[in-house]
Amino acid sequence: MERKILHIDMDAFFAAVEQHDNPDYFGKPVIVGADPRGRGVVSTCSYEARKFGIHSAQPIGEAYRLCPQGIFLPVRGERYAQVSRCIMQLLSEYTPLIEPLSLDEAFLDLTGSEKIFGSSAEIGKRIVKDIQRKLGLSASIGIASNKFLAKLASDLQKPHGFVIITPENVGELLDGLKVNRLWGVGPKTEAHLQQLGIETIGMLRRSDPEVLAANFGEVGLQLYLLAHGQDDRPVLPEEAAKSIGHEITFQVDTGDRSFLAGVLLWLSDQVARRLRQQSCKGRIITVKIRDCNFKTLTKRTTLTEATDFEEQIYSEALKLVQQAAWGINRVRLLGVSVSGFGSEGGTQLGLFEEEQPMLQCACAHRDLGKLHQTVDRLRDRFGEGIITKGTILHVKSKVDRSNEPE
């Protein structure tokens, strides 16, 4: 049976919620993010603001220069999470197989739902109408036989997009698209492909897989399969998520260990934040290093007690990359992930250990947890940049100038 996968992506979600909550903002350029007088970035913006050249992750000061008449608003994380829960609840009426990617997008496996609710296209249209009627928001929908194609489809005609990719039209839709529309293709990989004379997905599909493997290793074969519209990954419901992680591909390979350590701290901070947002703790910490020759190395360690603290994640991740000598060569990609959920383990007093030091450790652990909760609330209310470590700020500034986060 051919799978029917739907990808839903809300249109300018944060800005759309703000416009819904304050009708005076309708039709006006709304920019959600940091204070325009500060050094943060744009989280998202309305389509009216995008006409001025504003986009996500753009320095907030630049956005203000492009559109000083825009409506600049702080991030209201709790409100967006509330609306997101309503959306996910609505989606759950059609299938239990829902894999959220963020607050405003998710995959749905509708293969078994068609017998109950009609075709996947009919279900998609009902979802769009339900969200508009109940929440006053718009969404873009992509439907295909796998996750890659469904996500690609939802992005082809935003906003209010509704695209179905079938075996009959997949070649037509993919052929003319740039190779950077494929997962895993950043600026450097795109440049390397262009050196091989490959600029579009259609050209990649007609390439020799042996040539791709020789130039990119396993990644080349994965790109070859994606170019043919092949992706067999299942939709994993949130409770079945295997790991939470972040990674970054550098535009320029780097051997600067101090900079890489700073990036590792940044990634650990992002992973811990997502863990706490999803009320998850994990015991397995994994680092991923890809060098300038596209050789990928992974190292992992298992903790005795599950954690969602960036301090512990970073400490263990740093040990792992140092054990691996940072992959020896210059680094192209660095990633951190946490897995092993649902089994937090515990700390048990040894037979001859003194109780007082352990109690002090437990108190310190609770205090650190309270600190994280306070910082999370501030970030939810005022944006991610309201509180950050100096090292992370320096690293982000350097990355923003010359690299592309994934």
The Cβ of residue 74 has, within 10 Å, a number of other Cβ atoms equal to 17
SS (H, E, C) the chain: CCCCEEEEEECCHHHHHHHHHCHHHCCCCEEEECCCCCCCEEEEECHHHHCCCCCCCCEHHHHHHHCCCCEEECCCHHHHHHHHHHHHHHHCCCCCCEEEEECCEEEEECCCCHHHHCCHHHHHHHHHHHHHHHHCCCEEEEEECCHHHHHHHHCCCCCCCEEECCCCCHHHHHHCCEHHHCCCCCHHHHHHHHHCCCCEHHHHHCCCHHHHHHHHCHHHHHHHHHHCCCCCCCCCCHHHCCEEEEEEEEEEEECCHHHHHHHHHHHHHHHHHHHHHCCCCEEEEEEEEEECCCCEEEEEEEEEEEECCHHHHHHHHHHHHHHCHHHCCCEEEEEEEEEEECCCECCCCCCCCCHHHHHHHHHHHHHHHHHHHHHHHHHHHHCHHHCCCHHHHHHHHHHHHHCEEC
105 noted as active-site residue? yes
Question: CA 214, 218, 219: angle at the middle one, nearest 5?
Answer: 95
Half-sphere exposure of 74 (CA within 13 A, CB side): 17
Query: Residues 48, 99, 105, 316: which is the catalytic one?
Result: 105
Here the tokens at position 74 are 């702080």
Token code pair at residue 318: 């740093």
Task: Give the Cα separation of 219 and 131 in Å (integer).
Answer: 38
Neighbouring residues of 81: CB distance < 8 A, sequence distance ≥ 6: 103, 277, 380
Active site (catalytic) residues: 105
